[in-house]
């Protein structure tokens, strides 16, 4: 099963950005860990990160065209990008939205995600382990996406 692991703005700065909120795991380490963990689950994980919204939307379109599952950390776009939300609505399920921090325990503007309404599920507040949980769930959904 093909899985696109897509990360939005500022996630490339993991390990140096607000370590009290996001932890010390670097982006490269996160990607390496997810690809390896995905292999153990029989998943072909392709990871990408961008700070450019149009690029992310293009990747979501690619996933929709390929019928791929998506693990998406939309970062700040979660809270206002209707363009990204509409692109996500094109996906053939599943789409798992992941946030490293608990967005509901942070600033009020972070409490709502426009992406969540079109996601199969949402994982937040469990650190980088949330990515592994998303991949584990997707590995159980193979028959529904093939």
| Domains with residue ranges and CATH for the chain | 2-145 (3.40.50.9100)
Q: Was 7 annotated as part of a binding site?
A: no
Burial of 109 (0-12, 13-18, 19+ CB in 10 A): exposed
Q: Was 139 annotated as part of a binding site?
A: no
Selecting among 27, 54, 80, 99, the annotated active-site residue is 99
Q: What number of residues does the chain have? A: 146
Task: Examine the pLDDT at 18 and tell me if it is beyond 90.
Answer: no
Average pLDDT over residues 58-65: 98
Between 52-61, 103-112, 114-123, the lowest mean confidence (pLDDT) is in 103-112
3-state secondary structure of 129: helix
d(CA 92, CA 142): 13
Q: Was 79 annotated as part of a binding site?
A: yes
Q: Was 101 annotated as part of a binding site?
A: yes
Task: Examine the pLDDT at 145 and tell me if it is beyond 60.
Answer: no
* Top-confidence residue, 10 or 88: 88
pLDDT more than 90, % of the chain:
76
User: What local confidence, expressed as pLDDT, does residue 144 receive?
Assistant: 59
Task: Examine the pLDDT at 143 and tell me if it is beyond 50.
Answer: yes
Active site residue 132: no
Selecting among 22, 27, 131, 132, the annotated active-site residue is 22
Active site residue 104: no
Average pLDDT over residues 113-118: 96
């Amino acid at each position: 099963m093909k899985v696109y692991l897509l990360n939005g703005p500022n996630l490339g700065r993991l390990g140096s950005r607000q370590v009290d909120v996001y932890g010390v795991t670097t982006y490269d380490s996160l990607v390496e860990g997810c690809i390896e963990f995905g292999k153990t689950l029989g998943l072909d994980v392709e990871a990408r990160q961008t700070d450019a919204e149009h690029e992310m939307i293009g990747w979501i379109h690619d996933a929709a065209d390929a019928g791929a599952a998506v693990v998406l950390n939309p970062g700040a776009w979660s809270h206002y990008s209707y363009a990204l939300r509409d692109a996500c609505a094109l996906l053939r399920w599943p789409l798992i939205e992941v946030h490293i921090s608990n967005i509901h325990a942070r600033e009020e503007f972070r409490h709502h995600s426009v992406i969540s309404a079109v996601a199969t599920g949402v994982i937040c507040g469990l650190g980088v382990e949330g990515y592994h949980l998303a991949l584990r769930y997707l590995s159980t959904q193979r028959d529904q996406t093939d």
